[in-house]
Amino acid sequence: MAPPLSFSILVRDPGSAARVGRIETRHGAIDTPAFMPVGTQGTIKGLLPSLVAATGAQIVLGNTYHLMLRPGSALVASLGGLHGFMNWPGPILTDSGGYQAYSMSDLTTLSDEGVSFRSIVDGSMVHLSPERAIEVQNQLGADIIMALDDCPPSVDPATMSQTRLRTRAARSRSALGYDHARRLDEAGERTIRWLERCKAAHARADVQSLFGIVQGGTDLDRRSRSAAQVCGVELPGYAIGGVAVGEGFSEILNVVRHTAPLLPPEKPRYLMGVGYERDLVAAVRAGVDMFDCVLPTRNGRNAYAFTPRGAVRLRNATYAEDAGPLDPECDCMACRPDLNGWRTEAGHHFSRAYLRHLFMAREMLGPILVSLHNLRHFQRLMLDIRRAIRDNDWLAFGRRWPVAKEGLVGVGEGDLGGAGGSV
């Protein structure tokens, strides 16, 4: 039988490590570079699956941590797996649950056995081992599943400001006696041991593809070591984890530019949890193929609309009487509502004034429309990134996406390096 995932590189950018490709799965194809909307609890918040598909998304992400706690992976399996449960017929990726176990729960124990934590749903004790993380993901049935990794803070809590010590886990790590370097070494060694166990436990390799995750924080030597170890395990794809956990743009960029070339060029590369438009552009040019991020939906629910020229914060009184669309160039259902042959005669878009009204009146349709817009914004960004690679024309791209310009700077020879300012 054919492997459950194949990856073809169709076009390579002569001026950077970017490539246009296509991932084939049992549930359909994904054009890369790809952006994956996040459907934490088995739903992209507020959106019918058909509307998510209409934004151009070809793959969505589900969170193992949330789904194992509620409604439980065995129930999801009995209802057709995550595809059937949430009525998303296309490709799905699930994470391992590790990241949320560290960041969202009261961490009770972390050892080679795994991680034990209190459920945020009912307070019960839950154990997540490499074997259990894979068993749960085998039950959820996503096309791409992720290895359980030990995911320490990338920045030493001792050097973090109080406001950045947000999570309980980070606070516990800031306790006396914590040695950040030792913790990173331990995490790196454990991650590779767990990866072997995940691969051995994977019972559905005929239909699901397991990806490994490179860790190492912001230390580039550790990233090199982790990449060598993780990529030493033969897998259909590899991810860069442990970024976008509080660092700035330049730190993310350093790690990605260092790590992406260390991953096998013929396999898909996935940068977890990133990010803003400039981050995606810079990572694509470093050779990354897949992204996920909650920004479009989370910000959308908070009246924050993305546009190629920057954010529109709809609560601002500036927009109270603004008859224009969020983005005149956008073809989303908020900016150009035309669904299923049903056309508006009265208006051609939902005005900023109307969207602002919805948020002021706490109406669900506000989060819905701005989430749809933001998801389409990121899909349009990916379409234009793929076009820029195919046409070898990042200058035109930069003109269309001023907000992403920073991501075009300094990717070595042949890029827009010094010319970035004039894009």
Helix, coil or strand: residue 118 = strand
Of 186, 223, 168, nearest to 112 (Cα)? 186
Task: Choose, from 95, 143, 219, 415, the residue flagged as catalytic.
Answer: 95
Q: Of the two residues 56 and 410, which places its CB atom closer to a copy of itself in the complex? A: 56
CB 99 within 8 A of CB 131: no
Task: Choose, from 13, 143, 292, 327, the residue flagged as catalytic.
Answer: 292
Catalytic residue flag (residue 393): no
Of 147, 143, 145, nearest to 130 (Cα)? 147
Q: Of the two residues 177 and 341, which places its CB atom closer to a copy of itself in the complex? A: 341
Q: Of the two residues 122 and 234, which places its CB atom closer to a copy of itself in the complex? A: 122
Q: Of the two residues 83 and 258, which places its CB atom closer to a copy of itself in the complex? A: 83
The answer to whether the peptide bond before residue 33 is cis (omega within 30 degrees of 0) is: yes
Taking the C-alpha atoms of residue 355 and residue 364, their distance in angstroms, rounded to an integer, is 11
The answer to whether the peptide bond before residue 275 is cis (omega within 30 degrees of 0) is: yes
- Least gap, CB of 352 to a copy of itself (angstroms): 10
Q: Beta strand 19-25 with 237-240: parallel, antiparallel or unpaired?
A: unpaired
Of 291, 414, 397, 421, nearest to 17 (Cα)? 414
CB 37 within 8 A of CB 61: yes
Q: Of the two residues 206 and 338, which places its CB atom closer to a copy of itself in the complex? A: 338
**AA letter at 171:** R
Of 109, 279, 255, 245, nearest to 166 (Cα)? 245
- Least gap, CB of 268 to a copy of itself (angstroms): 23
- Least gap, CB of 361 to a copy of itself (angstroms): 5
- Least gap, CB of 81 to a copy of itself (angstroms): 7
Taking the C-alpha atoms of residue 421 and residue 391, their distance in angstroms, rounded to an integer, is 21
Q: Of the two residues 43 and 392, which places its CB atom closer to a copy of itself in the complex? A: 43
- Least gap, CB of 45 to a copy of itself (angstroms): 6
Taking the C-alpha atoms of residue 391 and residue 18, their distance in angstroms, rounded to an integer, is 12
Token look-up 């990338």 returns: 154
Binding site for a copy of itself (CB under 8 A): 41-43, 45-51, 53-54, 66, 70-71, 75, 78-81, 83-89, 320-321, 323, 333, 337, 339-340, 342-347, 349-351, 353-354, 357-358, 360-361, 363-365, 367-369
- Least gap, CB of 60 to a copy of itself (angstroms): 13
- Least gap, CB of 93 to a copy of itself (angstroms): 16
Taking the C-alpha atoms of residue 190 and residue 192, their distance in angstroms, rounded to an integer, is 5
Q: Of the two residues 261 and 324, which places its CB atom closer to a copy of itself in the complex? A: 324
Taking the C-alpha atoms of residue 274 and residue 278, their distance in angstroms, rounded to an integer, is 10
Catalytic residue flag (residue 149): no
CB 148 within 8 A of CB 81: no
* Sign of the CA dihedral with 129 first, then 36, 92, and 237 last: negative
Residue numbers annotated as active site: 95, 292
